[in-house]
Structure 1
Amino acid sequence: MSDVTFKHPEYVKNQHLWSRVDDVCKGQDAVKGKTTTYLPRNNPQDRSVEAQGFYDSYLQRAVFYGVTSVTLGSLVGAAFATDPTFKIPTALDHLERNANGAGLSLYQLSQSALRHLLKHYRCALYVDFPDVGPSRNRAEEKAKQAYPMIHLLSAKAVINWDTVTIGNQVKLNLVVIEESVSERGQDGFSVESKTQYRVLRLEDVGHGEFAYTIEVYAKTDKGVWVGGGRKIPTDYNGDTWTYIPFTFVGAVDNSVQVDNAPLLELTDLNLAHYRDSADFQESVYYMGQPQYYATGMDWNWFDEARKRNVYVGSKVILPIPLSGSFGIAQVEPNTLAREAMKDKWQQMKEMGARLVEKGTANKTATEADNDSAVQHSVLSLCVVNINEALTMALRWCAKYVMPNVDTLTKDDMLYEISQEFNKQGYLADLSRQLFESAVQGHSSFKSWWEYNQSGMFPKQTYEDEQANVDIEKEGRLDLTGE
C-alpha cells in the first residue's frame, strides 16, 4: 500500500537541523521555549521539584544573543542593497506585483528564497497555472483570471522526491509537497487547518514519451489518504509538459543534493555562547554578592544578635564581643565563563564574515570589502543560484501564456540579483574623471549624472552607452565654455 506521507531519507536526516536554525533565528523566546533541548540540566537524573526550580531559575537568568538572526538580516540586506535587474514580457507583468498569488512580488519572493538558502541550504520553486484550457488571446486570459504563479517552497515543505534518467538527462519524476489548507468554521470566525499533499509526477505515457501530472491527496473521515484524481497540465499551445516545472534551489548548486546550511555552524556556535551565558549568569548570581562573616563569636552571641535584630550597614553600631572581628568576603571574579563567551563572540563575527568573503577575517558581514574574493563566497553562490532558478521559473510562466518561448532572450526575460554586496560609495575623483571623459566624448554625461546620484555605475551595455554619447553629440551640447 502506497504512503503519500513517506519522507525521503535525506529529509529525515536534515529536518532537525533546519528546525534548529529556525529556532535560533526566531530569537530568545523560541530558544528558551525548547528548554533542555538547547540548555541541558546540570543534574538530569534529579527530577525533584527543588531541582526543577533550580533549572527554571538557571534558564531564566540565561541570556541569548541573536547573532545568527542579525547576520541573516545583514546578509540579505547586503544582497539587496542594489535593486535586482528584472526584465519580463508584457504577458507576465503581473509577476512584478503578485508573483505567488498571495501578493508577494518577485522581489520579495527572491528575498525569502535567500533566507531559506542561508537557513536550510535549499528551497524550491514551483510554477503552476489554474485548471483552465488555453486562451486564444490576452482578453480571454484576463477574463478567466488565469495567471501563472511562482510558488516558493521551504525545504520542510518538500518531503519526498525522486529522479529518473531519460536519454542522457536526469529529471525529477516525483515531488511530494506538504501543504496546509485553512477552512473557515461554521461560525464564520474560527479557522481549521488541514494538511494535504500535492504530488507532482513525470509519467511514462508510452512510445518513449513522458507527461507531467498533478494529484492532490486529502485525508478521508476514516483517516485514509486518497488522491483526488490526476490532472495533466498543458502549455499555451495545448501541449503536455515533458518535465515538471519545479526546481530545487541550493546554496552550492540547484541539484537534489542536500548539505549543511550556511548558517548552521554559526547557529551551533550561537547556542554554545548561550550555554556559556547561562553558566556565567549563574556564577554572577551565586558568587557575585558579598558575604558577611564574623570571628570570635559563639552560637549564644549569634542567637542573641538575631533576637535583638542586629543590623549591618552604614550609620549603625555593630556590637561584637571582645577579641571578635567582623568583615566582608568578596570572591574573585570568575572569568572562565566570561572569557569563553568572548572567544565565541569573536568566532561568530569571523564566521559571519566568511559567509561573504573567502577565507578567515575579523570583520563582520557588512564590513567586508567588495573585492574579488566575494565572487567565491557563500552569499554569492546563493545569489547566482537564485538568479538562475528564477529566470528558469519565468520561462516556465511564459510557456503557459506565450506561443513561442524559445524566441525569448536574456534581453527579453531576466531576473538578476546584483553581486555587488558592498557599495563602494561616491568617490569625488572618480566623478571628476567621468566628467572629463564625457567632455572628451568618450562617455556620456548621463552616466556621470547617474553616478553622482547613486554612487554606482549605471547597468547598461556598451552599445547603450555609445548611443547616449551619440545623442549628446547630436545635440551639440557644449560644456567647455569656449
Structure 2
Amino acid sequence: MPVQSTNPDYEAHIAEWEMMDDALEGECAVKRNERNLPKPSGMVEAEKLDAAGNKYLYQNYTDRAQYEHWVRDSLRSMMGLVSRLIPEIELPTGLKGLEDNATADGFGLKQLFFRVVRQAISHGRVPLVVNIDESGDPYFSTYATRNAINWDTADQGGRQDLVLSVFREFRKKGGDRYSHDCDTVFREFFMQGNVCYTSVRNEGGELVEEEKPLGSTGTDNRLVKGLPYLPVIYCGSTDNSPDVDEVPLLTMARAALKSYQLSADYFTALHQTSHPQPWVAGMDETVELSVTGPSAAWDLGPKGSCGYLEFQGAGIEAVRTAMEDQKNAALEAGAKVMDVGGTESGEARKTRQNDQHATLHSIVVTVAEALEQGLRYAAEWKGYDPAQVVFTVNPEFIIPAVDAQVLAELQKAVMAGTVSADTYWMYLTTGKLPERAYDEEIKVMTIEGQAGRRGVGLED
C-alpha cells in the first residue's frame, strides 16, 4: 500500500474534522465549500440550461446566507477560562530548558499546553510527538488533526502499543523567497525490531530522508538513544489512546451549519417579499420596457395592463422558527453561554456553565496527562528518572468571591492568635480556606511565630 494510505477511523471522521476547520475559520470558509449549502433544484436546472449565465442565482443565494460564529466565539470563551490555569511543572535539571523552549517554533510548556487544549476542544484529537533536535535536545511537535493520516497498534512485549504513525507535512519549495508553494511529504515513525525508526517519503513513496533510528543527530547520524517505543501520543478529549475521540464542539458546529442553510432560504424569501416581480400583458409588440422604478413611467398602449406578482412568504415564519431552534440546540451543547434575550433562567444558565466546566475539566486533565507522558519520554530518552517529571493542572475555572465579613473575622482571629496569617492570606487571594486539620493549623501558627521572633532578634 502507498505511504498516503489512511486508517479506516481517519476516513470515518475526516468529514467532521473538515467541518470543524470551516466552522472555526468562519463565514468565508463555510461559503467557499458548496457542500455546506446545497443548490436548490431550480438553480441546478437553470445551470443546466445556461451554466455561465445563470451562475449568479446560486451566488446571490449564498451571499444572502448568514453563518453565525457560535463555534469560534465558544472556543474563545472556553480558552479564556483555561488561560487562568497555571500548570505545576517539575523537571530534572537537564530538562529545565523545556519550560521556556519546548516546541519546534520555540515556545514553552505553558504555551504548548494552551495549544493542545485548544485543538482538543475544537477537534477532539491532538497528535503529539516527542523528538530530538540536531543538538540532542528534546522538543514537542504537534500536527493538525487532519494531517495524522495513519496509525496502527500491535503486541509489543505483551502490551498493545503503537507500531506505526504517519503524518502529512508541507515543505516549502526552493527558489523565490516570497512564494508559498509547498511539496507534500509524509513523515513516518515505525518499529523496526525493538527500536523506533523514522523516515520521510514523497507522494510517490520515494525516500526524501533515509530510514534511521529516531534520535540520530548530526551529519554522522550519531544516535542519542534508541527508543523501544514510538514517542507519539494521540491526546484526545476523553483519553489518550490512539482511538478517535468525540469532538466537544461538533454538536454546536452542526447546529451553526444548519442555521446557515436555513438562513439562505430565510433571507432569500425576505428579499423576494420586498422586491415583487412586475408583469405586463396585452402590449403592442412595438412597445419596449427596459426600466423599472419610482422614477419610470410605462406607456402600455390602449390594450396593455400590468401588475405585481407578490411573494406571499407564508413559510418565512416557519424558517425563522427553525433557525431559532438551531440556536437553542447550539446553546444546549453546553459550549458557550450566549444571550438568549432573557428567556433562560439563572439556574438554567448555571447548569449549562457547569456542563461546560465539566467538559473542560476532562480535557484539561487529559491534556496534562499527555504532556506529562511526553516529558517522561524525553526524560527517559536523555537518561533521567521519568519519576522526577511532574506536569499537573488544577482545573478550577470559577474564581470564588471573597466575602468582606468573613475576611474581617479572619483578620480578628489572626490578631487573637487562633488562626494563622497563611489562612488569612489564602482566603484573601483565592476566596478559599485551606483544607487542613486544626492541629496542622497550630503547626503553621507555631512556625509563623518562630519566624517572627527571629525577625526581631529574639532568637539566634
Band the TM-score falls in, shorter-chain normalisation: 0.7 to 0.9
In structure 1, the residue matched to 2:424 is 448
Name which of 255, 263, 266 aligns with 1:277.
Answer: 263
Name which of 398, 401, 420 aligns with 1:425.
Answer: 401
Name which of 131, 137, 140 aligns with 1:147.
Answer: 137
* Closer/same/farther in 2, CA of residues 418 and 433 from structure 1, 3 Å limit: farther
In structure 2, the residue matched to 1:173 is 163
In structure 2, the residue matched to 1:263 is 249
Distance in 2 (alpha carbons) for counterparts of 1:429 and 1:371? 28
Checking the alignment, whether the CA contact within 8 Å between 1:109 and 1:152 is kept in structure 2 is no
In structure 1, the residue matched to 2:186 is 197
Structure 1 residue 161 displacement after superposition = 1.0
Name which of 23, 29, 54 aligns with 2:57.
Answer: 54
Identity within the alignment, %: 24
Structure 1 residue 282 displacement after superposition = 0.7
Q: Secondary structure at the match of 2:46?
A: coil
Name which of 362, 372, 381 aligns with 1:381.
Answer: 362
In structure 1, the residue matched to 2:69 is 66
Distance in 2 (alpha carbons) for counterparts of 1:373 and 1:337? 29
One-letter amino acid of the structure 2 residue matched with residue 405 of structure 1: D
Checking the alignment, whether the CA contact within 8 Å between 1:370 and 1:422 is kept in structure 2 is no
Structure 1 residue 118 displacement after superposition = 2.0
In structure 1, the residue matched to 2:18 is 19
In structure 2, the residue matched to 1:435 is 411
Distance in 2 (alpha carbons) for counterparts of 1:58 and 1:11? 33
Structure 1 residue 21 displacement after superposition = 0.8
TM-score, normalised via structure 1 length: 0.75
Distance in 2 (alpha carbons) for counterparts of 1:30 and 1:463? 62
Structure 1 residue 287 displacement after superposition = 0.6
Checking the alignment, whether the CA contact within 8 Å between 1:234 and 1:241 is kept in structure 2 is no
Checking the alignment, whether the CA contact within 8 Å between 2:195 and 2:213 is kept in structure 1 is no
Note if 1:349 corresponds to 2:325.
Answer: no
For residues 10-409 of structure 1, the aligned pairs below 5 Å read: 10-34=9-33, 36-43=34-41, 44-47=44-47, 48=50, 49-131=52-134, 145-185=135-175, 187-204=176-193, 210-218=194-202, 223-226=204-207, 228-233=210-215, 239-289=225-275, 334-353=316-335, 368=350, 377-401=358-382, 403-408=383-388
One-letter amino acid of the structure 1 residue matched with residue 320 of structure 2: R
Checking the alignment, whether the CA contact within 8 Å between 1:79 and 1:418 is kept in structure 2 is no
* Closer/same/farther in 2, CA of residues 104 and 476 from structure 1, 3 Å limit: closer
Distance in 1 (alpha carbons) for counterparts of 2:56 and 2:281? 34
Checking the alignment, whether the CA contact within 8 Å between 1:96 and 1:105 is kept in structure 2 is yes
* Closer/same/farther in 2, CA of residues 18 and 474 from structure 1, 3 Å limit: same
Name which of 436, 449, 453 aligns with 1:473.
Answer: 449
Structure 1 residue 91 displacement after superposition = 2.2
* Closer/same/farther in 2, CA of residues 7 and 436 from structure 1, 3 Å limit: farther
TM-score, normalised via structure 2 length: 0.78
Give the RMSD, CA atoms, in angstroms: 4.2
Number of residue-to-residue matches in the alignment: 427
Distance in 2 (alpha carbons) for counterparts of 1:428 and 1:33? 55
Q: Which runs of 5+ in 2 are unaligned?
A: 297-306, 338-342, 454-460
Q: Which runs of 5+ in 1 are unaligned?
A: 132-144, 205-209, 314-325, 356-360, 478-482
Distance in 2 (alpha carbons) for counterparts of 1:81 and 1:343? 33
